[in-house]
Copies of this chain bind each other. A is one copy, B any other.
Amino acid sequence: MKRLLFVLVLFVAFVSMSVPRADEGMWTFDNPPRKIWKERYNFDPPDAWLDHIRLATVRLGGGTGSFVSPDGLIMTNQHIASGQLQRLSTAERNYIRDGFYAATPAQEMKCPDMTADVLVSYEDVTGRVQAAVKAGASDQEANAQRRAEIAAIEKEASEKTGLVCQVVTLYSGGEYWLYRFKRYTDLRIVFAVEESIGFFGGDYDNFTYPRHDLDISFLRAYENGRPANTDYFRWSESGAADKDLIFVPGNPGSTSRLLTIAQLQYQRDAGNDIQMRVWTSRRDALAKYAATGAEAARQASEPRRSLENSIKRLVGQQAGLKGASIMGRKEAEEKDLRAKVAADPALRKKYASAWDEIAAAYRAFPPYARRIAFTTLAPSALGGYASTLVRYAEEVRKPNSARYDEFRDSRIEATKRSLLSPAPVYRDMEEAILAAWLEEGRKTLGASDPFLQAALGSSTPAAAAKAVIAGTRLADVATRRALLDGGPDAIARSDDPLVALARKVEPVVRELRGWQEANIISIEASAGQRIAQARFAVYGKNVYPDANSNLRLEFGTVLGYEEGSTLVPYKTTFHGLYDRAASFDNSAPFALPRRWQDRRAALDLSTPLNFVYTADTIGGNSGSPVINRRAEIVGINFDSNLQKLPNRYAYIDEADGSRAVGVHSAGILEALAKVYDAQALVDEIRGTRRFGSH
């Protein structure tokens, strides 16, 4: 880790030396960077090109997928489907380890709790949301008024269209957009690779390039029990080539590029450390549990991988923020904007104080942030169910406009669906997680903290966790459904010990959520909106909003780079995979699945496997299709390299070696055909045979 930090500090050092000539931006579909495309790439697509891309791309869990056949076939990463694969696996059938292929429609496996959203249409509702704020309202009142209006807009739109309708906040409240989604709730797993090839090299090679991972899976969206008819991407015959212009549509999860210096300093000096503590303690608890046996290791494997990934990314982000160059650039940008606002009397009056208001709010935040981070039962899946039930009981009594976001009419179905997931629950793992979590909370917040007092009373973390997990009946979906169906009173009366625990801690959770709403969020919303408006007034709308897990379009070039004193190629090949496996004498995490060892001679080993490009992606772009000018699939995005990690806070220029990493389209077909004997899937993707025909 120390070594990784040094490497990152090195990469970050480059930032300040380069002149950005950026394939930068996670652009909304209403504001694509047409000028850059035209000037830099002589590319000027019709609107229909953009519509097609939007309708063939899906949001999928925390990531992205793309339709690749007219029969609802979705391509994504193995690591995006892995949560579902983990839930479908048992001690006897391990789809994470062994992969999966449904050679016939009947063999496709239904996902326990994953949905796919297509952004069908969108509409600017900024005026309506902002008009809802009454003159003279305090920040907190304004926030409540905006939220009520948003709830009303969503409800109206849902009722009118039957779609899932959500108002999305962009530019820290500078804009509000109504997004209408078609949601597919019946997803079935068609194909997944073995984790050892989808995540070849394990955590070592994660965020590393050259890379050799076939990180792919296929799902199928069903509607009314039949494969959905969908827009879809066609497959490129040749795939990605050196210097090609490519596009990456997807759902980047979260960036912090428009934050003020005060907000960034908070992240650097407090927020990221708290997050790191949360994740590492959870990771360590899972590692300890996994060490108790093979089946425990299997149960813990998917969440461990996910946490390792988050931790490695956070290390990179924090290194970027601690380096001088990103913060220096940010300070210069903020100084410039504030100076321009100050120089114009009208702007100064409206906007000049916004930065200081945010700074003042954040000064009080750190001790609350620590409490907020640990005041939850959610690391335990059962604890999360219990708290959601208790919260549900309270929220549904309120009018739609006054509820927490996740209980508003527009979102409550998704909340219920999560609650009723048929995913397996492992009691021993749950107990281990909850005990470790309460232990870490007590260590961090002290035994006298209100949450710990409520959760533990005079008990120890281990004893408390043992008691509630042993006694709870929430592992049974039917129990959760009965409580939900029984309504608020049934939940309030439940004698389930875990529900009782959730009731005890709920007032503390609510108090902190209220504090954050009143003291941070409403001020951020108000001041953030003014800063966004100031930015528009000074620079125009030449900027993209921070990512928030909604649909964006990124673009870039397929391009190698320099590292050390040598060149890193734009692609790797199957030869590279076999080289790396053999170089480590086929030992984990560089061991190839049996099937890959056996089929080596059948493969054209010069086939491209992975490739890199300059598109401005981030977590959430996992599974994004990589497409060419003709909107054909040339690959699928699955990772970034180390150089790119700090890009949460600023675009890292391509000259500094920052790259996204994808699986090459040719490698996907080669493997499906020659290693997995999945010819039907290949034919469906290539459009030579419709699904289900024989």
In the assembled complex, the CB of A604 is this many whole angstroms from the nearest CB of chain B, namely: 10
- Find the B residue at minimum CB distance from A1: B565
Instruction: Say yes or no: is A476 at the interface (Cβ < 8 Å to chain B).
Output: no
The answer to whether A565 and B13 have CB atoms under 8 Å apart is: no
B-chain residues with CB within 8 Å of residue A580 when the two chains form the complex: 569, 576
Least distance between A132 CB and chain B CB atoms (Å)? 48
Report how far A383 CA is from B312 CA in the complex, Å.
59
Q: Is there contact, CB below 8 Å, between A210 and B583?
A: yes
Asked if B569 contacts A201 (CB within 8 A), the reply is no
State the Cβ distance, A4 to closest chain B Cβ, in Å: 4
Cβ of A47 under 8 Å from chain B? no
Give the complex CA separation of A580 and B577 in angstroms. 11
Closest to A241 in B: B585
Which of chain B's residues have a CB closer than 8 A to the CB of A426? none
- Say yes or no: A4 contacts B579, CB within 8 Å: no
Count of residues in A whose CB is under 8 Å from the partner chain = 45
Docked-complex contact B642 and A565, CB < 8 angstroms: yes
The answer on a CB contact under 8 Å between B566 and A205 is yes
Nearest chain B CB to A640 CB, angstrom units: 13
CA distance A590 to B569 in the complex (A): 10
- Asked if A414 is an interface residue, CB under 8 A from chain B, the answer is no
| CB of A103 within 8 Å of the partner chain | no
Q: Which residue of B lies closest to A242 (CB)?
A: B585
* Interchain CB contact under 8 A, A582 and B575: yes
Residue among B205, B563, B575 making CB contact with A575, cutoff 8 Å: B575
In-complex Cβ contact of A642 among B564, B573, B576, B642 (8 A):
B564
Report if A208 contacts B (CB, 8 A).
yes
Number of copies of this kind of chain in the complex: 2
Q: Is the CB of A578 within 8 A of B605?
A: yes
Q: Could you say which residues of chain B place their CB within 8 Å of the CB of A579?
A: 572-576, 579
Residue from B2, B10, B312, B569 within 8 A of A6 (CB atoms): B10
In chain A, residues 1-15, which have Cβ atoms closer than 8 Å to a Cβ of chain B?
1-4, 6-7, 10, 13-14
* Interface membership of A207, Cβ < 8 A: yes
Shortest distance between the CB of A644 and any CB in chain B (Å): 13
**B565-A583 in contact (CB<8A):** no
Q: Please, how many angstroms separate the alpha-carbon atoms of A564 and B6 in the complex?
A: 8
Please pick, from B576, B584, B585, B642, the residue contacting A583 in the complex, using a CB distance under 8 A: B576
Q: Cβ of A565: which chain B residues have Cβ within 8 Å of it?
A: 1, 3-4, 7, 204, 206-208, 312, 642
Report if A567 contacts B (CB, 8 A). yes
Contact A201-B583, Cβ < 8 Å, known A6-B13, A575-B605, A576-B575: no
A201 cross-chain contacts in B, Cβ below 8 A: 566
In the complex, chain B residues whose CB is within 8 Å of the CB of A312: 565
Q: With the chains together, A584 CA to B573 CA distance in Å?
A: 10
**Shortest Cβ distance from A687 into chain B, in angstroms?**
28
User: Which residues of A546-605 are within 8 A (CB) of B?
Assistant: 560, 562-567, 569-576, 578-580, 582-585, 590, 605
- Min CB distance A576 to B, Å, is 4
A606 at the interface (CB under 8 A from B): yes
Segment 177-216 of A: residues with Cβ below 8 Å from B = 201, 204-208, 210
Nearest to A656 among chain B residues (CB) is B3
CB distance from A203 to the nearest CB of B (A): 8
Give the residues in chain B near A605, CB-CB below 8 Å: 575, 578, 605
Q: What chain B residues lie within 8 Å of A3 (beta carbons)?
A: 14, 562-565
- Name which residue of chain B comes closest to A566, CB basis: B204
List chain B residues, Cβ under 8 A from A207. Answer: 565
Query: What are the interface flags for A68-97 relative to B under an 8 Å C-beta threshold, 1 for contact and 0 otherwise?
Result: 000000000000000000000000000000
User: Whole-angstrom distance from the CB of A251 to the nearest CB of chain B?
Assistant: 26
Tell me, rounded to whole Å, the shortest Cβ–Cβ distance linking A658 to chain B: 14
Measured CA separation A255–B536 after assembly (Å): 62
Instruction: Let me know if B584 and A606 touch, CB within 8 A.
Output: no
A68 CB to nearest B CB, Å: 26
CA distance A574 to B583 in the complex (A): 10
When each residue 1-31 of chain A gets 1 if its CB lies under 8 Å from chain B and 0 otherwise, what string results? 1111011001001100100000000000000
Centre residue among A2, A312, A578 by max chain B CB count within 10 A? A578
Is A584's CB under 8 angstroms from B569's CB?
yes
Cβ-defined contact, A583 with B571, below 8 A: yes
Residue of B nearest to A589 (CB): B567
Q: How far is the CA of A409 from the CA of B4 in the complex (A)?
A: 58
Query: Complex Cα distance A387/B570, Å?
Result: 51
Which B residue's beta carbon lies closest to that of A201? Answer: B566
Instruction: Contact check, B564 vs A582: say whether CB atoms are below 8 A apart.
Output: no
**Bound Cα distance A45, B20 (Å):** 60
- Residue among A4, A562, A575, A584 with most chain B CB within 10 A: A575
Which chain B residue has the least Cβ–Cβ distance from A576?
Answer: B579
A7 to B585, alpha carbons, bound, how many Å?
29
Q: State the CA gap A650–B571 with chains docked (Å).
A: 38
Query: What is the distance, in angstroms, from A198's C-beta to the closest C-beta of chain B?
Result: 17
A454→B46 CA distance, assembly (Å): 74
Q: How far is the CB of A212 from chain B (nearest CB, A)?
A: 9
Selected A-B contacts with CB under 8 Å, 18 pairs: A2-B17, A3-B562, A3-B563, A4-B564, A6-B13, A7-B10, A10-B10, A201-B566, A204-B565, A567-B584, A569-B583, A573-B578, A573-B583, A575-B579, A575-B582, A575-B605, A576-B583, A578-B605
Known A10-B10, A564-B642, A579-B579; 20 more pairs at CB < 8 Å: A2-B17, A3-B563, A3-B564, A6-B14, A201-B566, A207-B565, A208-B564, A210-B583, A242-B585, A569-B583, A570-B583, A572-B583, A573-B578, A574-B579, A575-B576, A575-B582, A576-B576, A576-B580, A576-B583, A578-B605
Task: List the 7 shortest-distance A-B pairs measured between CB atoms, nearest first.
Answer: A569-B583, A576-B579, A575-B579, A4-B565, A204-B566, A575-B578, A582-B606
